[in-house]
Structure 1
Amino acid sequence: MASTRSRNGWMIWLTFAIGLLLSVVPFPHVEILRPMFLALPLAYWALEMPQKVGMLTAFCLGIAQDVLFGTLLGHNALILTLITFLILTLQQRVRMFPMWQQSLVIMVILGLAQLLQLWLSALTGNRQTLAVLLPALISALLWPWVSFGLRGLSRRYKIN
């Protein structure tokens, strides 16, 4: 009888930890261009393994990011949960797209998340400009490399 137990699921959490660490690395002069380092592996694993990485995972990672950044509790949790919800809703279609179309879909989803962040920031009294959408564009440009890298990691360690 084949084992249905998870194999190497810790690698998924390692990619999330790396995403969290990259989120706090300082970019001195180009802070506005910082990609959404945690959203990219979250989107990849939600596309590849929706049975393992879902909205609860996104919410927990968002709470961790809120604590790490010292932002309003639930701010990043709401944003990451929205990203995961949209990815899971479109998961069957997006997996069939070629890489450039996947990048466009990722850009739209992350752009919507950034607009939600802009709205939440305005509600809390912080003024920002529409330049907050640049991380969605940078993240979409990084999507092919992130996707190929995580796919190779998944195959090498036989993550299921």
Structure 2
Amino acid sequence: MIDIGLSKMALIGAVALIVIGPEKLPRVARTVGTLLGKAQRYVADVKAEVNRSMELDELKKMKDTVESAAREVHDSIQTSASAFEKDWAEAIDSAAPLPSPTATVPAPEYKHPGKRWRLKRSALPQWYKARSGVRSKALSGAARVARYRPGKSR
């Protein structure tokens, strides 16, 4: 960029003061400052747009490489799956025959869960639980909402 030092700025200011005059100099300086600011904003916008387009190109390249890698992985999984299916079919064909469906396997005996199966059993006595505030009864979701609803006085 242009190398302007303090001495050059003073020389430009003195020439402008002589040429333009002291009455019009503040207005001209304000106009020049405004135009310079607009030019700097325009240059910054152009730089940002160029950077965005470069990043977009890089992202497109990255997307293509990821898609190609995913395609390769998908193809390799498909080939290994087909090989697995073939091996599985061979193993099933060569395996010993399954027992006949008429063979009976004893069913496990049914055990009723009990009256209070949702509650955890413990060795603590009931009076201690009541005094310390341990829950002894299961509440449904609706009952819990009704009991702990804010703003409700008991």
User: TM tier, shorter chain?
Assistant: under 0.3
Structure 2-normalised TM-score? 0.22
Greater share of residues in helix? 1
Normalised TM-score (structure 1): 0.22
Specify the structure having the higher radius of gyration (Cα).
2
- Indicate the structure whose relative CO is greater, using CA pairs within 8 Å and at least 6 residues apart: 1
